Chains A and B, each alone.
Chain A
Amino acid sequence: MQWKKLTAALLLSSATGQVPAAELRVQVEIPSLQVAEYHRPYVALWIETDKVRHQQDLAVWYDLEMKDNEGTKWLKDLRLWWRRSGRQLEFPVDGLSGATRPVGTHELVFVADSPQLANLPEGAYRLVVEAAREVGGREMIRLPFLWPVTHTQQQQQQGEHELGHVALKLTP
């Protein structure tokens, strides 16, 4: 049927993206640690301006399975994020809260028209990844980028304690 084919074609075009949308892709490695008592780290990802002002939250991974929302007790251990943003929020936050992740590399992709990026003004920014682990330590990694994306940008850094390899890739 003509009509069905047309719809299919339309769907296909929007899926592959004839005008491909710019995207921001983050890879966060949760390292394997040889410790007596291991808990998955709490992790916050957000965007700050090059003047160190909080701009936009991207994700927070915490223990949201616990009864009575008790996992929120340790959100303040994401010390910088808590001060910049978390303490203003009501948990769980739709589109932000997620469960803690196991050891391994986890990828997050945000397209330019996603709620997180749609209103991001032109400017110089940093992606901030902060991790804090119960009975463990805390670590932060910052990766700079420019917005909007006019050319492919890649940044990466190796964590030393609570974070493994953290990589940022922006494609136009």
Chain B
Amino acid sequence: MSIKRLSACALLALGMGTAATAQAHRAWMLPSATVLSGDNAWVTVDGAVSNSLFYFEHHPLRLERLEILSPTGAQVEAQNRAEGRYRSMFDVELTEEGTYTLQIHRQGAFARYKLDGEPKRWSGPVNRIDEIPASATDLQVSEIDSRMQVFVTRGAPSDANFKPTGQGIELVPLTHPNDLVTEEPVSFQFLVDGKPAEGLSLVLIRDGIRYRDQVGEIELTTNAEGKVELVFDEPGMYWLEVEREQPSQHIDGARRRLSYSATLEVLPL
């Protein structure tokens, strides 16, 4: 029956949709505080890869590429690193006044292929892609640039760490990310490779998904200047994600997948 077959197809499509969503794991870092006072200020940070925010239920976040920049741009060592079953953690002592940036920036290429019928994976720097055997079949390569950031401020917020590097997706804090409160307009600008990016899709998700029925994503698109403006109705920790796909400039025929994510705290006014 043609109707039955159609329903089956529709169900299959829906099912795949669900599967795709379920596989869209979110990687995040969650700081114990973003606004701090006092001379002896520390934050402790959890990191995980999970479906639900902010719950530890899938994988710990790998911290090999973790980089911490002080307000003056000095590299700060993470302390008390640990990796558990579902989460990683580390501490940061905030010895300087101003805004610290905690980030994991990954760049490179990722490939799936088959060798003698066996599925294989490879990842590494773009310029070492020839490590993939010439006899590989079903080769799928993508270039990746992903940046995950968290900001924490002791004393007054500072801007020194927001100078764009011109690589991947970057946030320009028209409103400082540690100065977010409900009911006040917030605006951010996004750059792709240093240039304002029009038409970027942003998703913001508030913490505590477990305790409500709907995820309640806030979806926004950047304007011609790469800017978005919004007002947060509810305080909380928000996970922000921005993604874009474009042809790779370095690998023939490959896609380049860019992503940016951040955990932002919105305080009640």
Contacts and interface: CB of A to CB of B under 8 A. Distances in A.
Nearest to A79: B267
A72 B37 contact: yes
A87 B267 contact: no
A4 interface: no
Interface stretch (B18-26, B38-46, B113-121, B213-221): B38-46
A23 B144 CA distance: 65
A70 B269 CA distance: 26
B48 interface: no
Nearest to A77: B37
Given A83-B181, A87-B156, A88-B156, A76 B35 contact: yes
A82 interface: yes
Contact of A80 (B36, B41, B156, B269): B269
A83 B34 CA distance: 13
Contact of A87 (B39, B155, B268): B155
A82 B179 CA distance: 11
Given A83-B181, A87-B155, A88-B156, A73 B267 contact: no
Contacts of B267: 79
Interface in A47-88: 68-76, 79-80, 82-83, 86-88
B155 to A, nearest CB: 5
B156 A75 contact: no
Interface magnitude class on chain B: 10 to 19
Interface magnitude class on chain A: 10 to 19
Contacts of A70: 38-40
30 contacts: A68-B39, A68-B40, A69-B38, A69-B39, A69-B40, A70-B38, A70-B39, A70-B40, A72-B37, A72-B38, A72-B39, A73-B36, A73-B37, A73-B38, A73-B40, A73-B41, A74-B37, A75-B37, A75-B38, A76-B35, A76-B37, A79-B267, A79-B268, A82-B35, A83-B181, A87-B35, A87-B37, A87-B156, A88-B155, A88-B156
Nearest to B155: A87
A87 B37 CA distance: 7
Contacts of A80: 269
Contacts of A68: 39-40
Contacts of A72: 37-39
Interface in B1-54: 35-41
Given A87-B156, A88-B156, A82 B37 contact: yes
Nearest first, the 7 A-B pairs at minimum CB distance are: A73-B38, A72-B38, A76-B37, A75-B37, A87-B156, A69-B39, A87-B155
Interface string B141-167: 000000000000001110000000000
Contacts of A86: 37
A71 B37 CA distance: 9
A43 to B, nearest CB: 15
A79 B269 CA distance: 8
Contacts of A73: 36-38, 40-41
B36 to A, nearest CB: 6
A30 B71 CA distance: 38
Contacts of B40: 68-70, 73
B206 to A, nearest CB: 19
Interface string A139-168: 000000000000000000000000000000
Interface in B41-90: 41
B201 to A, nearest CB: 31
